[in-house]
Chain A
C-alpha cells in the first residue's frame, strides 16, 4: 500500500464528520480532451507563447492552460486540447522540440475538465473541491480558476466517480 492509500485508509477509519454541503449553481464537464505538460526553460521570457502559437497554426484547439514557474526555475505549461488532435500535437511538438527548448514532456490521452461555478474567489469552494476528490482517491492533474469557475483536469475514467462524489459535497439547485 503506498503512502497516499494508507493516509486515505486511516482517514476513512477515523470517520471525519461530514461537512455541510456548499451551495453552487452548477458543474460543467468538458468533452474528452488530451492533456500535455511541457517543461520549458524558465526566465522572464519563455517559449510557452511559441508553443501556443504553433498549435494555433495547425488549428489545434486549446481549452485549458496552466503556466507557472516551478521551484527549479523551469516553466511548467499544461494544456488541454481536443483529443482528436493529440497525434497532430505530438508530431508538431516532436518536430519542434529543440527550437522550443522542451526539457521534459508528458501527456494523458483521455482527460476531462470539470468546472464548478460560481467560484467567486471563495477559498472554501477550492478547498472542498480538492479535498473531496483526493479523499476519494481521484488524481487531479491540474487546477485553476478563471473568471467565475474553478476547474480541474481529471483522467476521463475518474470523471463519473468524481461527479458522484462532488454531488455529495456540493448542493446543486
Chain B
C-alpha cells in the first residue's frame, strides 16, 4: 500500500438532507442536458453533486444532488424536463448526504482512495456514488449513516479540530 502514515485532511464538508436525482440513459446529442440546467439556473439551484457516466449504446447517465428545499421548486417541472431531455428513466433517492474529503492528495498518493472507501465499506457504510478529482473526494451516503461515516473518516485520517 502506498499510504502508511496518517494523512492530514481539512475538516469534512457535510451536506445533509439532500435528494439524489438520477437521469438515466440520456442521448449523447449536444444540448440534451440543457433543459435541466436551464431549469436549475432559472430557480437558482446549486448542484451539490454532479456526475455523468457512460450508459452504453451512446447513452449517458446523469446524477445530481440538490437540497430538499430546492427540489420542491424543481419538482413541478421535473417531468416535463425529463421528457425534453429524452431520459429513459428518472429515479429519486431521498434523505442522502454528501461528504467531501479534501486534502489527502488523491491525485498523487497511491492507495488513498482505497484507504478511505475500504474503511467505509468495512464499517458497513453504504456509498451510493463517488466523485473524486485532484485533491478532493465527494461521496453520497444515506443521511442516517452520516455520524458513523464521520467517525470512520476521523479514525482513518487526521482531521484538525475546527477552531
Contacts and interface: CB of A to CB of B under 8 A. Distances in A.
B51 to A, nearest CB: 5
A54 interface: yes
B76 interface: no
Interface in B67-116: 88-89, 100, 102, 106-115
B55 A149 contact: no
Interface in A56-80: 56-71, 76, 78
A55 interface: yes
B34 A126 contact: no
B126 interface: yes
Nearest to A43: B126
B113 A65 contact: yes
Contacts, number: 199
A151 B29 contact: no
Contacts of B144: none
Interface residues of A, number: 60
B37 A147 contact: no
B43 to A, nearest CB: 10
DSSP class of B's interface residues: helix, strand, loop or mixed? mixed
A90 interface: no
Interface in A116-152: 120-124, 126-127, 130-131, 134-135, 139-147, 149-151
A130 B33 contact: yes
Contacts of A124: 37, 41
A7 B30 contact: yes
A52 interface: yes
B4 to A, nearest CB: 11
Given A144-B131, A147-B136, A134 B114 contact: no
A63 B25 CA distance: 26
A127 B34 contact: yes
Nearest to A57: B1
B129 interface: yes
Contact of A49 (B38, B49, B114): B114
Nearest to A69: B128
Interface string B15-30: 0000000101100111
Interface of A: 3-4, 7-8, 11, 28, 30, 37, 44-45, 48-50, 52-71, 76, 78, 113, 115, 120-124, 126-127, 130-131, 134-135, 139-147, 149-151
5 contacts: A56-B111, A71-B25, A71-B89, A131-B30, A149-B136
Given A142-B52, A146-B100, 5 more contacts: A8-B30, A61-B107, A71-B25, A127-B34, A143-B53
